[in-house]
Amino acid sequence: MGNPKIVINETKFKTNVKRAIEICKAKNIDVLAVTKGFCGNRRMAELYAEAGIKNFGDSRLDNFEVYKDIPGHKQLLRIPMISEIPRMIELCDSSLNGDLDVIKKISDYCLKNNKKPHEIVLMVDLGDRREGVLPEDALKSAKLISEMKGVKLIGLGCNFGCYGARIPSDETMKQFVEIQHKIEDELNIKLTHMSGGNSLSLHMVWENRMPEEINVLRMGFAMIFGTEDMYRQTIDGMYRDAFRCEAEVVEVDYKSSMPIGACGIDAFGHVPYFEDIGDIKRIILAIGKLDTMFDAMIPYDDKLKILGGSSDHMIINAQDSDIEYKAGDIVTFALDWGSLLYLFNSSYVIKEFEK
Ligand SMILES: *Cc1c(COP(=O)(O)O)cnc(C)c1O
């Protein structure tokens, strides 16, 4: 098969997923497995299911369409667009929400079309400043939602570390479940789906710091990379290298590190900066910014240094490497979220599954 490719080790990935399920199950928490990073790759959803996942989350309806026949609860993670409500009702059991106008439209649609009430998880913004109602508005919002007949308020959700890079704390989680209790008491309803965060919150589970009310975690990163977003250390019993990227060397040269001539702008409109470190041995790989995010590519050969590149080329300083690279050789990279997204999304990148 050709290059470049993203290689998925099925055994390692499923081991990570099973381990996450085990860590959470000990605290009565269900893992809602996030598929959005795989950009609608069906085999990835199958692997989740084979590892025991029953709840799936994605931000895009197109991805749910790909695996709609795989049984389980499907939750839309991005606040629904009003224009996608009819399709969402077909594909999803629940959705995360933060805007009352949107929720009203969902309710109206379900009533008008005789659909069973769509399940709503109301997001509460505990500080990361992406989606969700403010804590002081949560009760009022919950009351309005509970009066809408075409939807069912099943619980609350919170999220950290995405926009504002905020870290969950004991105080914010306490505040979160206090909001739950207040809503349950005042409105006399039960909130059975308490979605306590993403991978960044997993450490709170094994540190026994997650309030017992929390019964769902939405998780992608931790199971994909076997690391905790927060400490970036490999989680006990998981693998960091379930996913890797392989790209092919197309040129090995020896050139000045400093380009020659007057400096304009590069292919992406930026004025680049170069450090003059004399003549260096370089390798050029047939993978570019169209295929991956360079900042999120970590060469297995830690003596290689990514210098930059363009749409279709990656240029690497190989001066210090012990390996004599030549055209046709493969350079392997560990991945991070950004590169995983790009690689799965690029139709030029082969997706190779190994047992
Ligand atoms: C993407 C996403 C997640 C998953 O985050 P990870 O860091 O991959 O665990 C959870 N919740 C929401 C709302 C998301 O959009």
List, for residues 93-142, the tens digit of each pLDDT value. Answer: 999 999 999 999 999 999 999 999 999 999 999 988 889 999 999 999 99
Using the CB atoms, write b or e for 109-140: b if 16+ within 10 Å. bbeeeeeebbbbbbbbbbbbeebbbebeebbe
Averaged pLDDT, 230-246: 91
Dmax over Cα atoms in the chain, in whole Å? 73
Catalytic residue among 12, 25, 27, 36: 36
For residue 96 and ligand 1, the question of a CB distance below 6 A is answered with yes
Using the CB atoms, write b or e for 245-277: b if 16+ within 10 Å. bbbbbbebeeeeeeeeeeeeeeeeeeeeeeeee
pLDDT at 231 over 80: no
Q: Which residues pair with 288 in a beta bridge?
A: none
Rounded distance from Cα 240 to ligand 1 centre (Å): 18
**Atom 13 of ligand 1: nearest residue by CA position:** 77
Q: Over the stretch 17-57, which tens digit does the pLDDT of each residue have?
A: 999 999 999 999 999 999 999 999 999 999 999 999 999 99
Q: Across all residues in the chain, what is the average pLDDT?
A: 96
- C-alpha 273/C-alpha 26 separation (Å) is 51
**Atom 14 of ligand 1: nearest residue by CA position:** 77
**222 neighbors 239 (Cβ within 8 angstroms):** no
Would you state the pLDDT for residue 229? 66
Among residues 161, 287, 181, 315, the alpha carbon closest in space to that of 229 is found at: 161
For residue 344 and ligand 1, the question of a CB distance below 6 A is answered with no
Rounded distance from Cα 328 to ligand 1 centre (Å): 38
For residue 199 and ligand 1, the question of a CB distance below 6 A is answered with yes
301/233: higher pLDDT: 301
Contact residues for 246 (Cβ-Cβ < 8 A; gap 6+): 3, 4, 5, 7, 330, 331, 332, 333
Atom of ligand 1 nearest to the CA of 200: 7
- C-alpha 284/C-alpha 252 separation (Å) is 6
- Angle formed at CA 207 by CA 205 and CA 211, multiple of 5 degrees: 50
For residue 38 and ligand 1, the question of a CB distance below 6 A is answered with no
265/20: higher pLDDT: 20
Averaged pLDDT, 207-226: 97
Q: Is 114 helix (H, G, I), strand (E, B) or coil?
A: coil
302/232: higher pLDDT: 302
**Atom 12 of ligand 1: nearest residue by CA position:** 77
200 phi and psi, to 5 degrees?
-65, -15
Rounded distance from Cα 219 to ligand 1 centre (Å): 6
- 36 among known catalytic residues: yes
Q: And the tokens for 202?
A: 């997993």
**Residue 233 pLDDT level (bands cut at 50, 70, 90):** confident
Ligand 1 pocket: which of 58, 131, 162 to mutate (most atoms within 8 A of CB): 162
- C-alpha 153/C-alpha 151 separation (Å) is 7
Q: Over the stretch 61-103, which tens digit does the pLDDT of each residue have?
A: 999 999 999 999 999 999 999 999 999 999 999 999 999 999 9
232/295: higher pLDDT: 295
Averaged pLDDT, 195-217: 96
Would you state the pLDDT for residue 298? 97
pTM of the predicted structure, to 2 decimals: 0.95
**Residue 207 pLDDT level (bands cut at 50, 70, 90):** very high
Atom of ligand 1 nearest to the CA of 220: 8
Rounded distance from Cα 200 to ligand 1 centre (Å): 9
Q: Over the stretch 292-348, which tens digit does the pLDDT of each residue have?
A: 999 999 999 999 999 999 999 999 999 999 999 999 999 999 999 999 999 999 999
Number of alpha helices (DSSP H) and beta strands (DSSP E) in the chain: 10, 16
Rounded distance from Cα 79 to ligand 1 centre (Å): 13
Ligand 1 pocket: which of 77, 97, 121, 195 to mutate (most atoms within 8 A of CB): 77
Averaged pLDDT, 189-198: 97
267/12: higher pLDDT: 12
User: Taking the CB of residue 149, how many other CB atoms lie within 10 A of it?
Assistant: 11
Q: Over the stretch 48-59, which tens digit does the pLDDT of each residue have?
A: 999 999 999 999
167/33: higher pLDDT: 33
**Residue 167 pLDDT level (bands cut at 50, 70, 90):** confident
